[in-house]
Structure 1
Amino acid sequence: MSSPPEPQAAPTGVIHDLGYRPYAGPRLGERKVAEAFFLTGLRNTYGLGRSARSKVLPMGLLGLMLLPALILVGVLVQARNLLGLDEQIVAYSTYPLTTQVLISVFVAAQAPALISRDLRFSTITLYLARPMRRSVYVLVRVASLTVATFVLIAAPLLLMYVGGLLADLPFGRETGRFLAAIVGAVLLSACLAGPAAVVAALTIRRGLAVAAVIVVLVVSYTVVATIQGISYDSGHESVGEVAGLFSPYTLVNGVQVFLFDSPAATRTPPDGTAMGVLYCVATVLLVAGSIGILMLRYRRIRT
């Protein structure tokens, strides 16, 4: 007959005091979170604080944006008297349209990096946990992309302005034109960042988002420019004026022509007060509508 099993000893354990303490410092709240979030997004658009590979495209595009301006400044400073130049070779207001392909590629590359990545890796749920609201997230992301785009557009304009002063162009005239171009750069940055963010928020695939943004920005400008050229040649300039409402580049240039009497970069700029006001209203609606669509998009995301 087998003996009964010996009773097992009760498990023993030791609790170690590792010194963990809850955070008892100040909680800075939503404002500081939004500021840090904005600066981080702005730095990421140019690859600052990230790998060297992340810096290649944005820094390369910035260099390509500055190169034509540098050449123009060199010609203006060195050969102004020889060529009889008394103003900028390329007007401030037309420079962004001259380099619109570079600007579109930058926006198309960075909008998905800021928007689509958060959706793809579900980091959006962490950001919205607390204390940042959805509306603040949308505004901060759009602001980061807008400011980054503004830096890209305004940098060559500033270089041209400094070159104009070095070439002894009239200070008052150059300053007025430059400030008008800066206002246009702000409007163009917002008009590009808003729709690009909307497109990027509709898909989690970065490659698809990049292609879609390029199609929206580049193809829309190409179609509008074609319609404007045909309407001008056929004598139906009003058709070209209306077509200019459907591309951010022609839209903002039309606003500059109307508000500041800047040189037109299109063949059919807005003619008359009514059309000029329509261009201004369309600009506001484009930016506000993009933000509104983003608000609706992120309202559906669960945290």
Structure 2
Amino acid sequence: MSSPSDHAGTALSESAHGPTGVIHDLGYRPYGGPRLGEGPVAWGFFKTGLRNTYGLGRSARSKVLPMGLLAMMLLPALILVGVLVQARKLLGLDEQIVAYSTYPITTQLLVSVFVAAQAPALISRDLRFRSITLYLARPMRRSVYVLVRLASLTTATFVLIGAPLLLMYLGGLLADLPVGRETGRFLGAAVGAVLLAACLSGLAALVAALTVRRGLAVAAVIVVLVVSYTVVATIQGIAYDSGNLRVGEVAGLFSPYTLVNGVQVFLFDSPEATITPPTGTAMGVLYVGVVVVTVLGAIGGLLVRYRRVEP
């Protein structure tokens, strides 16, 4: 049986010969390839944000709401196309059953829910979990981060609004409606879809950036979008019944849905979706100006908000 003095002697003899540890070469090498700048980083960030809005690359649970809303947006358009193609001669139809310019207002509740759900997912989550600090550590400025996030949300919203319009346009061609007329109306509606997506996304992103609580942000966005439209539609109805059409025209400036529809009526002579559309050049120019101010104001508000975020 060995004594403590024997163990001590062994330790001293090992220390006398130096350390016995071995360093293994695992083959790790530093990255020696090209380092991408701000542009490629922003593009990758945009694609990731766009995919996330529809739950692509995420769990199945994340896909349920956005994909469900997209399906619900397409279903009425598919029914309208089916009726137009199959019963055009029987019903004596010579144009779309529902005009392109009025479809977004008809489905505005679905659009509002989509924007209200996805804006906090892109904006509030980064602020709450402080992942924004990691993004700003990359070669990407705050202004670029804001614009890329807003572009992802705007593109996703445009897909939601524009997909049923494209389906209706293709259905109109299958039903042998005049190609030139349908193309002109569809292009006008596509421009309106872009403007509406920009207005909705800008307002929703700004509201979502003011709170890190996702549930609170969702509720606030729905209030801003849905309640504003309800109030505006009510005022326009009262103004129309009382003969004060100018009041209804001015009220239309305070909801993104009625605002963009007014721009379509003014610029493209699209069918109006409200009972008090803008009349006259001055009012039409005012509608266009308010759209520009809404989008630029939302971007400016987001830039101010993110200046207070510490990298």
Is the structural similarity TM-score above 0.5? yes
**Alignment partner of 2:279: what SS?**
coil
Correspondence 1:185 to 2:230: no
Partner of 1:174: 182
Residue 195 of structure 1 deviates from its aligned partner by 0.5
Correspondence 1:148 to 2:156: yes
**Alignment partner of 2:181: what SS?**
helix
Distance 1:210 1:105 in 2: 8
Deviations 1:141-176 (A, max 9, x none): 000000000000000000100111111100000000
Correspondence 1:297 to 2:309: no
Distance 1:302 1:273 in 2: 46
Correspondence 1:19 to 2:64: no
Distance 1:122 1:232 in 2: 49
Distance 2:112 2:129 in 1: 25
Partner of 1:131: 139
When normalised by structure 2's length, the TM-score is 0.93
Partner of 1:65: 73
Percent identity, aligned pairs only, is: 82
Amino acid at match of 1:75: V
Distance 1:24 1:74 in 2: 58
Partner of 2:5: none
Bigger CA radius of gyration: 2
Which range is displaced more, 200-209 or 10-19? 10-19
State the aligned residue count.
299
Residue 20 of structure 1 deviates from its aligned partner by 2.9
Correspondence 1:76 to 2:84: yes
Distance 2:142 2:22 in 1: 45
Distance 2:137 2:264 in 1: 42
Partner of 2:231: 223
Structure 1, unmatched stretches of 5+, are 1-5
Amino acid at match of 2:248: G
Amino acid at match of 2:199: C
Correspondence 1:116 to 2:124: yes
Partner of 2:216: 208
Correspondence 1:240 to 2:262: no
Which range is displaced more, 263-272 or 21-30? 21-30
* Coordinate RMSD, CA, aligned: 1.5
Alignment partner for residue 258 of structure 2, among 235, 247, 250? 250
Distance 2:228 2:116 in 1: 14
Distance 1:33 1:123 in 2: 16
Deviations 1:169-202 (A, max 9, x none): 0000000000000000000000000010001111
Partner of 1:266: 274
Amino acid at match of 2:147: L
When normalised by structure 1's length, the TM-score is 0.96
Amino acid at match of 2:220: A
Residue 15 of structure 1 deviates from its aligned partner by 4.5
Partner of 1:3: none
Distance 2:179 2:121 in 1: 40
Partner of 1:28: 36
Partner of 1:99: 107
**Alignment partner of 1:204: what SS?**
coil
Distance 2:307 2:24 in 1: 45
**Alignment partner of 1:286: what SS?**
helix
Distance 1:257 1:59 in 2: 31
Residue 14 of structure 1 deviates from its aligned partner by 5.0
Deviations 1:47-91 (A, max 9, x none): 111111111100000000001101111111111111111000000
Partner of 2:94: 86
Amino acid at match of 1:136: V
Structure 2, unmatched stretches of 5+, are 1-7
